Structure 1
Amino acid sequence: MFKLFTKGFWDVIASIILRNKIVILITIALITILFSTQWKNMRFTFTEANLLPNDHEVNLIYNDFLEIFGEEGNLIVLGVKDSSLFTVEKLNAWNQLSESFKNLKDVEAVVSIKDLKKLVKNTDKERFELEPFITDSIHTIEQLDSLQDDLFKKYPFYDNFLFNKETKTIRTAIYLRKEIVNTSERKDFVFDELLPKVEAFEKATDLDVRISGMPYVRTLNAQNIVDEIGKFIGLALGVTSLIFFFFFRSFRATFISLLVVCIGVMWTFGIIGFLNYEITVLTALIPPLIIVIGIPNCIFLINKYQLEVKLHGNKARSLQRVITKVGNATLMTNVTTASGFATFILTESTLLKEFGIVASLSILSIFILCILIIPIIYSFLPSPKERHLEHLNKRWIGAFVNWTERLVKERRISIYITAIVLLIVSMIGIYQIKISGSLIEDMSKEAEFFQDIRFFEEEFNGIMPVEILVDTKRKKGVMKLATLKRMNELEEVILETPELSRPISIVSLVKYSKQAYYNGNPKYYQLPTSQENSFILSYAKNSSSDLDLLSNFVDSTGQYARITTFMKDIGTDRMERIEENLQNKIDNVFPEDQYNVTITGKALVFQKGTKYLVKNLAISLSLAILLIALFMAYMFRSFKMIIVSLVPNLLPLLITAGLMGYLGVPIKPSTILVFSIAFGISVDDTIHFLAKYRQELQANNWKIRKSVYAALRETGVSMFYTSIVLFFGFLVFTFSSFGGTVALGALVSATLLFAMLSNLLLLPSLLLSLERNIANKAVLKKPSINIIPEDDNEEEESDKEIKNNH
C-alpha cells in the first residue's frame, strides 16, 4: 500500500523528471497560464467576516432581524468639532455639503441639522405638524443663536443623534441604499463621491471633518488589505531572497528559488479564482506564506545538490539523488505543514474552511513545483563552481552546530530544567490570556479612519450597532402603552451603560409627541400617561404620513420594533457582561408569553464568532497533533517515539501562548491561526531529524550516542538555515498595519525560533536519555515509510544511463 514511499518509487520519479524535462516545463507553463485565466474570478470581500456557521443560532437571529428591517450597517456619519462652525458662512457651507449627497443614486437618505424639524401642535386641526429649524439658510447671527438655543436646550429628541450638546459636536447622517452596502458600489461611492466632496469642503472652510460608520470603515479597511497583499509579497520575496543569497552566495541559486516561489504565488491566486473564493484578511496572507514556506524547500533541495556535487562531482548522479533522497523527506514535511492548515477545513466556519483549503493546496503545489523545477533547471546549467560550494564550509555554522552538540553532551540536565521552568512560567501566562471580540481591534491604529472611530466613540459612544428586536406577537402591539413602557425601562439600562450610546426607537418619537402636545415644553419629554395616550395618539393619527420620523424602527404590521444603540470598542468580557445585564432586564420586564425579545447586531455576531473560533482552535490544533502523531506512529511503530517527537513541538506552542498572556495579546481570529500554522511547520524539523537518526542507527550498528550526534551535525545546518528563513519570513508580517497580522507574524516567528532550539537541544537529549527504551531494532529497522533512502553504491551502467539522458 505504501509502495509509493519506497526508494524504488522515487528512483522512478527521478527518472521520469530527468527524462521529460522539456515536457514538464511546458506543462508547468500551461498550468500557470490556465491558472492566470482564473485570476479574473478573484474579488475582494465587501462583507464582514462571518466567523459563525450559517445555521448557528446567533446567525439565524441576526438574519431574522435583517429580514424584517433590512441591512443595519448602512449609516455613514460626518462630524465636526470646532467652535468656528457656528458662524453663518461655515454652517451654511456644512448644510450645503449635506444637501449635496441627497441626489446621489447610492444614497437613501441624508439627515443633517438643516433637515431637523420641530414637532408642533395644530390645535385647530387637532394634529401635529412639522416646522423646520432652518427654513432656507441662516442669514444673521440672531438666527444662529436661536438655532443653538433650540437644539442644545429645548429638544432632547435630537440630542446625541446629530449633535452633542455638551461638546457642541455636530454630525450629518448619510444612509446608503441597503442593496449596495455589501457590493463594490459601496467602494465607488466612498472614493468617487464621499471623499472628494469632504476634501473640497475642508479645503474651502479649513474645518476638520471626521468620517465614520461601518460602510466607510469596512471600505477603507478592505482597501488596506488590497494594498498590503502587494507589500507583503514584495517584502517576503525581498527578505527571503536576501537571506537565501547570504547563505548560498549564488545569484543563480537565488534566482531559481525566486522563480519557483513566484510561480507558486501565481498558482495560489489561480486556486482562489478557480474556487471562486473572496480575498479576505486571512486568504490575503496565503501568497506571502507560500513564499516563506517555499524557500526552505528550495534550501533543502539546492543544499543537497551541492553537497552531492562536492562529494563525488557527478552532476547527473547528484540530480537523481536530490529527488530520491530529499524528495520523500520534503514531501512528508510539506504534507505535515499542509495538515496543520487543512485542519481548519473541518471547522464549521466558512472563513476558516476557505483559508484551510487554499493554504493546504498551495503548500502541496509549491512542493510539486520545487521537486520538478529545481532539478530540471540545474540539469541545463553547468556544475557548480568551487565558489558556489564555499558556504558548505562556513565556520560559523559549524560553530553553531558544535555549540548545540556540546550542550546536549554536557548540559542535558540544564536543558531539562530550562524546559520545565519555561513550561511552568508559560502555564501561568496562559491563564492570563484574554479573548477579544472587537470588530476594529485589528485595524490600523495609524489610519485616519481609526482615529475617526475613536473620535465618534468619545463624542457619541461608538459606531458598532447593537440591535434589540422586540416581537409583540400581535399586530400593532408596538404602540400599546404597556409595550412602550417596557421598552423605555430597557432603554434606561442602555442609558446607564457608559459603553453604549443613547438608544433610538419609537419610544423617543412618542416622548417627542407628548412634548409637542404641551407646546414644546422640554420637561414633558416623556411617555404619556394612559389618560394622555388616547388624545396624543389621536393627534398623531390625524398627522401626515411624513411625520413618522422613525418608521425604520417599527415594521409595517406594527408587530415588531427595534431599539438601536451603538457600542464602543470594548473587550469581550465587558461585552458579555453588558449582554447579560440587558438580557436580565429583558427577562424581568418582558413576559415570555407576550413578547419575544432578542439581542443582535454586527458587534454581537462578531463577538460570538470569536468565542466560537476559540473552541475551533482547540479542535483544529488537536486534529493537527493527532494527524502528526498518527504519521509518527506509522513511520516508527513506537508509542514512545510519538511522545519524543511531540514534546519538542508542543513546548514552543505553550511558551508562545504564555507570552501572549504576559504581553496582553488576546485570542482573536488572527492570532488563533498561530498555533496550527507553527505546529505544522515546526514538526518538519523533527521529521528530518528522526529520519536521519534512524538512518544513522543502521549505519552505525545501533550505536545510539554516535547516531544522535551524527544526525544532529547533519540536520543542524539545514534546521538552522530553514528556521532563519522562516523566522525572518514571518517577521515581514509585523510590517502590517493590521494589529492581528502583526501579532500573527511575531508569534509564529517566535514559536518557530523556540521550535528550532527545542528540536536541536531537547529532542536529541530525550533520545539520549531514553536510549534503552526506544532503541528497538524491530521498531526502527524497517519503518513503514522510508523518509530518507539509504545510500547505495550505484553501478557504473546506471551512472552512464543517467548521463546519457542529459
Structure 2
Amino acid sequence: MRVKHKAHEGRLSTRRIAHYIVTHDVMFFMLGAVILLIASLGLLRLSFSSDNRDFFGASNPDINAVLQLEDTYSKSDTLIFAVVGEEDICTPQGLTRLRAFTEEAWLLPDVLRVDSVANFNHSYADGDDIIIEPLLSEDTDLGPEDARRVKDIALTSTELVHRLVAPDCNAFGIFIDLIPSENASIDRLDMAERARALKADWQARAPDLNIHVSGGVIGGVSINEAAQRDMRKLVPLSFAVVTLLMLLGLGTISGWLATTLVTLGGTLATLGFAGWMGIALIPATATSPLAVMVLITASCVHVVLGWARRMAQNQDRLRATYETVEENLTAVSVTNITTAIGFLCLNFSESPPLAQMGTIVAFGIVVGWLLTGMFLPLILRRAPALCFKPVHIPGHQLEKLASFALHKRGLVSLFGLATVLALLGLSQIRFNDSALRYFDKSFSFRTDNDAIEEHLTGMESVHFSFQAPEGHSVFSPEFLSRVDNFTNWVRTQDKVLFVGTVTDVLKRLNQTLDGGAQDSYQLAPTQQGNAQAMMLYELSLPVGQDMNQMMNIDRSKTRLTVVLRGADGQDIAQFAQRSEAWLRENEPQIATEAVGVGVAFSKLTQRNNQAMIYGMLTVLVLVSALMTLSLRNLRLGLISLVPNVLPAILAFGLWGWLIGDVNLGSTVVTTMTFGIVVDDTVHIMIHYNRHRRRGLDREAALRLTFRTVGTALMVTSVAISSGFFIMTQSGFLINQHLGGLTTIVIVLALFTDLILLPAVLERTKL
C-alpha cells in the first residue's frame, strides 16, 4: 500500500506542476524570453583561439616539459617556407631567388632569426686564417661556379640536408623564429596573413616554383579557421536538416515552429554561455551548439507528438496541452538531467576544450529543458494547429515490433554474439593523435605540410635536453661522446630524417681548424678545445644567428632535435619510448625524456582515455541511481543499464574492425553518449512501468508503450544521428571521430531499445 501511495503522490505532484505550467503559460514564456536574452548577450564576448596548446591542461606534464624546454633554450613562434622546383634549383637563378626570399623574410614583423642555405654560416680554412661567413654573400652576382660550390657544400652537410635543402636540391627551406605571441607587436592572425601574402607574392613572381608555408603560427591560425568554418557551415546545416526532419516527422506546423524556437533559443544560449565564461572556441568546442541543437529537439518531439496524438483524437486544445505536459514531464526532465550529467562528466577529461565542451553543452541542455517547459505550452495551446499527415511508422506497426521483440527467441543470443565480436574489435583499436593530421586536405595548412614533407623535411620534431655532469660544460669530451653515440643511433631509426645536434657543429669546426682534413671531422679531445672552437664560431656569427637554440645560456645543457617524416601519433610515441629505453640502457649518465608537442599529443589520448574511465564510472552511477529513483524499481533500474552500455561497446568494436585509429575526440564518446542513449530507455521504461502498475500484462504494456513513444523515439534518433553525422563533414579529425562514433552509438541504441530491451524484459519476467 505504501508503494501505491507514493506513486499516487508522485502523479499528483506531476499533475499540479503540469497544471501550473499550462495555466501560467504567458508568464513562463516571458520568463524564458528573459533567460534567453541574458544568456545570448554573451555572444558579444565570444572569441576563437589560435593555439593548439589549448588542448592541454595546466598540469599536463608533457606540455609542461615543452614549456620548460622553451624556457631553457630559445622560445619563439615559427614559420616555415619551402621553395620547391620541378628539378634542380641549386642554380644561379634559384640561389639568387633564395637569397632575396631570405632577405624579405627578415622584413616580416617580430622576426628573431631566419635560417636558410643562403645565410648558413659556413666555416673554412684560408691559409692560417679561419673564415666563417654566410654561404651566399649578400651583394655579388652568382655564376655557375658559385652555384656548384654552394651545392657541393650544402649536399654534404648534415646540418642542412633534409632541413634547409632537399638531397636532390629541388627544394629549399626558410625557417623563421618570431617573438612569442604574448610579446609580439602583432597577433598570430596578422602574422599568418602577412606570411601568406609573402607566399602569394613569391608564387606570382616565380610561377615555375611552388611556394609552401607552415609552422606553429600557421597551425594555430588553422585551428581558429577550423572552428569558425564549423560554426559557419556545420551548425547552420545541422539546424536546417534537423528542422526539416522535425517538420516531416511531427505533422504540425505550430509544433514545428515551437520546436524550432526552443532549439534556436537553446543554441544561442549555449554560445552566449561560452562568451560569458570567457571560453575561446576551438574546433572541439565550436560544435557544441550542434550537439545542443539536436538534443534539445529530442525533448520537444516527445511533447509535440503527444499533443498531436491527442489533437487527432479531437481533444480540447487546453486539455490536450495539459495532459501532454503531465505525461512527459517526468520523462523529459529525467532525460535532460541524465544527458547533462553525461556531458558534465567530460570535466574528467585531461583536455580543457573537451571539458569545456561538456560544460557548455550541459548548460545548453538545461536551458533547452527550461525553454521546452516555458515556450511549448503557450504555442501548442494558443497558436493555430495546422496539422498534416506526418512521415513516420504507424503505431500499429510499432506494436507488432514490440510483440516480435518480446517473443522472438534467440535475440538475446544474437546480441551476445555481436558483443563478443565487438570485444574482439576493441583489441584492434590504437590511440593515434597527431596535431598536424587533425586537418584534412581542405586546409592549405595540411596540403602545405604534406608538400614540405614530400620534398624537403619532416614536420614532427622530438627534442632531447642533455645535462652535462656537475662541474663540467657541454664541451666535455666524455659528455659530447655520449651525445654523439645517441645521435648515431637515432639516425638509424625508422622515419628519422634529420638530427640537429651541437656535436655536428663542433665536428665541422674542429675539421676547419685542422685545415679541412677529412679524418679530422671529430670532436676535440679536450673540453678547452671544443669550447675554443665554439667561441670562435659564435664571435663570428651575425646578430640573430646565435647558438642559444642548441645550448642554454651557461652552456650546461644542450638540445638535440630529431625530425621525423611521415610519422603519425603512434610512430612518435613509439620512437620516444625506444629512444628513452636506449638511453637508459646504453648511456644512463645522460638519460632523459623525449619532449615535443607531437609527443605530448601522442600521449594525451591515452591520458584522456584513462581519465574518462572515472568519468564513465561517475555517469554510470549517477544515471543509474536517477533511473532507479524515477522508476522506483531497483530491478528495472539495473535492467536499463543493458541497452545503455551495450551500444558504446558495439560501436567501438565496429570502429576497431573498420577504422582502428582513435583520437582525442573518440575517448569522450562513451561518457558523452551514455547520457544521450539513456533518453530512449527512460521514455520506454517510465511508460512501461506506468502501464504495468496499472495492471497491464507484459505484452500489453509494451505494445502500448511502443505505440505511445515509439514514433517519438525513432524521430528523435533520426534527428540526433543526422545532426552528429553532419559533424563528420568537419575538416577537423577530432570532430569527425566524435561525430562518427556518436552517430553509430545512437543508431545502435535505437536497435537495442526497440529489439533487445523487450527480449530482456521477457527473460527477466519484469
TM-score by length of 1: 0.88
Structure 2 residue aligned with 1:28: 32
Quote the residue 1:216 is aligned against: 218
1:138 aligns with 2:135: no
C-alpha displacement of 1:36: 3.4
Separation in 1, partners of 2:392, 2:586: 77
1-side partners of 2:696 and 2:256: how far apart? 39
CA distance in 1, matches of 2:203, 2:441: 23
How many Å apart are 1:740 and its aligned residue? 3.0
Q: 2:505 aligns with which of 503, 509, 524?
A: 509
Structure 1 residue 89: Cα displacement: 3.8
Aligned to 1:275: 277
Within 5 Å, which residues of 2 pair with 1:785-804? none
Contact map agreement 1:460 1:501 (CA 8 A) in 2: no
* Partner of residue 301 from structure 1, selected from 300, 303, 308: 303
Tell whether the 8 Å contact from 2:440 to 2:446 is kept in structure 1 after alignment.
Answer: yes
Distance 1:7 1:167, change over 3 A: farther
Partner of 1:379: 381
Higher mean C-alpha displacement, 762-771 vs 213-222: 213-222
How many residues are paired up?
757
Matched, 1:642 2:637: yes
**Which residue pairs with 1:117 in the alignment?**
121
CA contact (8 A) 1:473 1:596 kept: no
8 Å Cα contact 1:86-1:144 kept in structure 2: yes
**Distance 1:74-1:660 versus aligned 2 partners, 3 A rule:** same
Distance 1:762 1:535, change over 3 A: closer
Give 1:245's aligned amino acid.
L
Alpha-carbon distance in structure 1 between the residues aligned to 2:618 and 2:95: 62
2:704 match: 710
Aligned equivalents of 1:423 and 1:702: distance in 2?
32
- In the other structure, the counterpart of 2:576 is 579
- In 1, Cα distance between equivalents of 2:560 and 2:446: 26
Corresponding residue for residue 499 of structure 1: 495
Bigger CA drift: 75-84 or 318-327? 75-84
2-side partners of 1:539 and 1:235: how far apart? 64
Change in CA separation of 1:488 and 1:344 when aligned onto 2, cut-off 3 Å: same
Aligned to 2:339: 337
The residue aligned with 1:792 is none
SS at match of 1:553: coil
SS of 1:119's partner is strand
Residue 428 of structure 2 contacts residue 660 of structure 2 at CA under 8 Å; is this kept in 1?
Answer: no
Task: Provide Cα deviations, 1:340-374, integer angstroms capped at 9, x if missing partner.
Answer: 11111234543332222112111111111111111
Compared with structure 1, are the counterparts of its residues 373 and 275 closer, same or farther at alpha carbon in structure 2 (3 Å cutoff)? same
Equivalent-residue separation in structure 2 for 1:643 and 1:244 (angstroms): 33
Pair 251,284 (structure 1): closer, same or farther in 2 beyond 3 Å: same
8 Å CA contact retained: 1:731, 1:746: yes
Alignment-derived partner of residue 81 in structure 2: 77
**Does residue 607 of structure 2 align to residue 621 of structure 1?**
no
Change (3 A) 1:400 1:218: farther
> Partner of 2:675 in structure 1?
680
Secondary structure at 2:102's aligned position in 1? helix
Aligned-partner SS, 1:598: coil
Distance 2:623 2:531 in 1: 70
Question: Equivalent residue of 1:503, what SS?
Answer: strand
Is residue 198–residue 209 contact of structure 1 (8 Å, CA) maintained in 2?
A: yes
Preserved contact between residue 247 and residue 253 of structure 2 (Cα < 8 Å): yes
Structure 1 equivalent of residue 481 of structure 2:
485
Aligned amino acid, residue 331 of structure 2: A
Whole-angstrom distance in 2 between the partners of 1:689 and 1:557: 70
Aligned-pair CA distance for 1:110: 1.4
What displacement does 1:446 show? 4.0
Contact 1:614–1:667 (CA under 8 A) maintained in structure 2:
no
Quick one: structure 1 residues 210 and 543, their matched pair in 2 at CA, closer, same or farther if it must change by over 3 Å?
A: closer
- Contact 2:475–2:531 (8 Å) recurs in 1: no
Q: CA deviation at 1:679?
A: 1.9
Q: 1:205 maps to what in 2?
A: 206
Call closer, same or farther: CA 1:171–1:280 in 2, change over 3 Å. Answer: same
Q: Show the 5 A alignment for 1:53-72.
A: 53-71=57-75
Mean Cα displacement is larger for which, 726-735 or 465-474?
A: 465-474
- The CA deviation at 1:687 is 0.9
For 2:275 and 2:496, the matched residues in 1 are separated by 41
- Residue deviations 1:7-38 (CA, integer Å, cap 9, x gap): 44444444544454444444433333333332
Contact 2:76–2:177 (CA<8 Å) still a contact in 1? Answer: no
Kindly tell me: are residues 482 and 300 of structure 1, through their superposed partners in 2, closer, same or farther at Cα, counting changes over 3 Å? Answer: same
Structure 2 CA distance for aligned equivalents of residues 53 and 448 of structure 1:
28
Distance 1:484 1:720, change over 3 A: same
Distance 2:176 2:350 in 1: 36
Match of 1:97 among 98, 101, 110: 101
Q: Indicate how the Cα distance of structure 1 residues 107 and 403 shifts in structure 2: closer, same or farther if over 3 A, else same.
A: farther
What is the one-letter code of the residue matched to 2:461? P
Q: 1:262 to 1:441 in 2, by over 3 A?
A: same
What residue number does 1:606 align with? Answer: 601
- Structure 1: which 5+ residue stretches go unaligned? 775-806
Taking a change above 3 Å as real, the CA distance of residues 15 and 770 of structure 1, as seen in their structure-2 partners, is closer
Q: Quote the Cα distance in structure 1 between the aligned partners of 2:134 and 2:352.
A: 51
Alignment match, 1:739:
733
One-letter identity of the residue aligned with 1:559: S
* More off after superposition, 512-521 vs 269-278: 512-521
Which residue in the other structure is 2:688 paired with?
693
Alpha-carbon separation, structure 2, partners of 1:29 and 1:705: 44
Secondary structure of the residue that 1:211 maps to in structure 2?
strand
Question: Are the counterparts in 2 of residues 127 and 539 from structure 1 also a CA contact under 8 Å?
Answer: no
Q: Residue 214 of structure 2 contacts residue 448 of structure 2 at CA under 8 Å; is this kept in 1?
A: yes
* CA distance in structure 1 between the aligned counterparts of 2:430 and 2:77, rounded to whole angstroms: 28
Do residues 41 (structure 1) and 45 (structure 2) align? yes
The Cα shift of 1:122 comes to: 6.1
Taking a change above 3 Å as real, the CA distance of residues 641 and 415 of structure 1, as seen in their structure-2 partners, is: same
Q: Deviations over 1:493-537 (max 9, x none)?
A: 22111322322122222112012213445654332334xx64564
Aligned to 1:791: none
Q: Tell whether the 8 Å contact from 1:509 to 1:549 is kept in structure 2 after alignment.
A: no
Q: Secondary structure at the match of 1:209?
A: strand
**2:152 matched to 1:149?**
yes
From 718, 724, 739, the equivalent of 2:718 is 724
SS at structure 1 position matched to 2:421:
helix
Inter-partner Cα distance in structure 1 for 2:493 and 2:503: 18
Matched, 1:450 2:446: yes
Counterparts in 2 of 1:539 and 1:436: CA distance versus 1, 3 Å: closer
- Aligned residues: percent identity? 18
- Give the whole-Å Cα distance in 2 for the aligned partners of 1:620 and 1:344: 6
* Map of 1:261 onto structure 2: 263
Deviation at 1:135, TM superposition (A): 3.7
CA change 1:370–1:137 in 2 (3 A) is farther
Counterpart residue number, 2:389: 390
Q: Which amino acid aligns with 1:202?
A: Q
* Deviation of 1:71 (Å): 3.3
Deviation of residue 272 (structure 1)?
A: 0.6
State how far apart, in whole Å, the 2-side matches of 1:253 and 1:714 are: 17
Counterpart amino acid of residue 549 in structure 2: N
Q: Secondary structure of 2:465's match?
A: strand
Q: How far apart are residue 464 of structure 1 and its match?
A: 2.1
Classify 1:381/1:321 alpha carbon distance in 2 versus 1 (closer, same or farther; 3 Å): same
Counterpart code for 2:701: S
Partner of 2:435 in structure 1?
439
Give CA deviations for 1:257-305 in whole Å, capped at 9, x if unaligned: 2222111111111111111112122211210111111112221111122
1:284 counterpart letter in structure 2: A
- Unpaired runs of at least 5, structure 2: 1-5
State the one-letter code of the partner of 1:225: A
1:617 and 1:182 mapped to 2: Cα distance? 37
8 Å contact from structure 1 (residues 438, 603) kept in 2: yes
Separation in structure 2 between the aligned mates of residue 616 and residue 540 of structure 1, nearest angstrom? 47
Aligned-partner Cα distance in 2 for 1:148–1:672: 49
Q: Is the 8 Å Cα contact of residues 254 and 383 (structure 2) preserved in structure 1?
A: no
Matched, 1:318 2:314: no
Q: Which position in structure 2 is the counterpart of 1:803?
A: none
Written as runs of structure 1 = structure 2, the 5 A alignment for 1:328-477 is 328-382=330-384, 384-385=385-386, 388=387, 390-391=389-390, 396-398=393-395, 400-411=397-408, 413-472=409-468, 474=470, 477=473
Residues 514 and 527, structure 1, Cα contact 8 Å, conserved in 2: yes
